[in-house]
Structure 1
Amino acid sequence: MATRRTFSSEFKREAVRLIKERGVSVAQAARDLDLHENVLRKWVRELSGDPEHAFPGQGQMKPEQAEIARLKKEVAKLRMERDILKKGRGLFRQGVDVKFGFVAKHRGAWPVGMMCGALGVSRSGFYAWLVRPRSWHSLSDEAIGQQVRQSFLDSDRTYGARRIWRDVLEAGHPCGLHRIERLMRTQALRARPRRRGLPVDRGERSSAAVAPNLLDRQFQAAAPNQKWAADFTYLWTAEGWLYVAVVLDLYSRRAVGWSMQSQMTTQLVTDALMMAIWRRGQPDALLHHSDRGSQYTSDRFQRLLGELGITCSMSRSGNCWDNSAMESFFKSLKTERIDRKVYRSRAEAKADVFDYIERFYNARRRHSTLGYLSPVQFEQQMQLA
């Protein structure tokens, strides 16, 4: 394989001068210098176009070429810094341990010095951090951080810092609420925000069996089966609406009865009440509170209450706060489970609502009204007291 010949700037200039000043033809000069004619013509054009900067020499560039190369290098650096900052967004408010951890994780992708400069930490500090043993606080943060993430995932990404804090304390990690908030920010764990809208019952209401508001917003009960609150809501599926009726025992906020049907009928709320009776037994003195929906004011439902010896109480017309315990339950159900789902069938929606009520809300969900115990835990604890 022939070695490519190189020529000095002086050689090129003298070759062009041979043609331009001494009148030697390009063909003759090419034969004399053992060059290709096109090479000589290229040298002639280059010297004519820029006599001062032509033939800068091996490894050197013309000023405009050097400027283009410098700009390309600067653009490449800026792009790299942009990618670093894009990947490491949210790190500027974090401590140096978090930033150094980012550098260690990505040093195979970007130069260490560039990452350190972009994040505002020193390169020497990073290498010292690599060999320095981890502090007790850092190890503790890692252990608690894992527990924080596990609690967040177990709650189906619905728990905020206060409920997660109770889980962490229960797991045997003493710490403060602000630490939980910091670890949640570090891991970008954010509970689903609550919706502002309240559920609205647009069904026709009858005044035939409207009861007074005996509950009067007294949502606390001294014992189980003294005060029950009831209401229903609806959720959309690909097959149409699914209506969900629920009965809450205000003593523990436990969902003691529920029913799900495709029709908004009296049977819907009747089945929810009967489930509560089957599960809790027929109480001696019970107040049943609901709104003034046509399902609750119907003759059939009112006769059932009378046969069971249950006292009826109803919210004032158009006042959702009179049954705010139920409104809060349905808001939690929709915010923490339903609003993030697209149900292909009513059966799929029923299974998910059942899972939320029986496996999560009653058994595990920490309720702020109950001192951050679940309804089941609260009842068990009160039985032992």
Structure 2
Amino acid sequence: MSGQYRRIVSLVGENPLPIYMGIVQFLQEGGEAVLVCSSETKPMAEAVAAVAQDRGSFSYTRLANPFDPRPTAAVLDGLFAEMPDALLNFTGGTKVMAAYGLRAWLSAPERTMYLDEPSKLFRFGNGVEIPLQVRELDIDTLCRLHGVKAGKASHRPQVPYEDLAALVRKHNALPWRQTPHSKETVPWETWREMLSEAGRAALDGITPQRRNEYFGEKNEWLEEFVRQAMLRLSRDGRIRNVPGSDALLHENEVASGVHFFIGGQQFESDVMAVVDTALRYLSVTTDPTEKMNKAKSFEAMHRARQIGGDMARSCVVSLAPTTSVANARRSVNHARHYLFGAEDLLRWIAGDGTRLLEFMTE
């Protein structure tokens, strides 16, 4: 993608994603991007330049105090005088930066724009609206933009979807207080019996040590079910971005068990996907309690924003009954966060991905 502007001035705030997408969509190949930042947002500006370095040349204009009107106005007036043909992206930065940037470009409103993230529109000062067209984001790019180091995904056994679905059905038939969850190591014999009762017995190829991790200590089986269910519904045409289009998700766009390093600390994700330009972060647990669903929700919202910025969405997928999910949802009360329980998983197995579609495409 090559834009129509030879030069872009971008005001940089805490979220580097709108700055990156503005450069990718509007900067001509070999063009010049000036990133206006403070000492606090210089790392975000440097991340944008590193990820988008093949687009053109980058320079930094540093503000001593982005909340001080007079020196901020002087810097932005100077930039417009130096490059009056430049496009101003005022999505980021402080309100002071945006206000005096618009004042500097007052005679050229057609060269000022703001990314309206919910509607995925670049809104220009002259009333023109241009849809966001960046389609090359992946998890690695999001991590690099937000200063997160991504490691390799954990190697996990290839378990047939039908076996995993059988376990979900079996769990849902148990009284929830008897349901094994992440704080217990469930003996393989328990799982073997459950599979046998469900008519499935295709898991004997997993080594005993790996069985304990997969079904007991880490409960990776439910993460794998969620990953496969997302792909299965997508391929079946029940989750599509546009009617009649290709599947919303493909195999290489859904990751599970990826290790991340943030501020020197390591954590492992459950399931993630990138839809268009937005991260979808799914925290998965077999624990059916309302308390765990709430705790996982707050962690998922935090991690999603760390990796994917303000456009990220999060959810918790668990084996919780409807009442626990409803209570946790009321407690969390966040429009960008979803909770899915055992009843939702049964709907996925039956081919109904309506609420999952809402989460993926909102």
Q: What is the TM-score normalised by the length of structure 1? A: 0.29
Q: What is the TM-score normalised by the length of structure 2? A: 0.30
Tell me: higher relative CO, structure 1 or 2? Use CA pairs within 8 A at least 6 residues apart. Answer: 2
Considering only CA atoms, is the larger Rg found in Structure 1 or Structure 2? 1
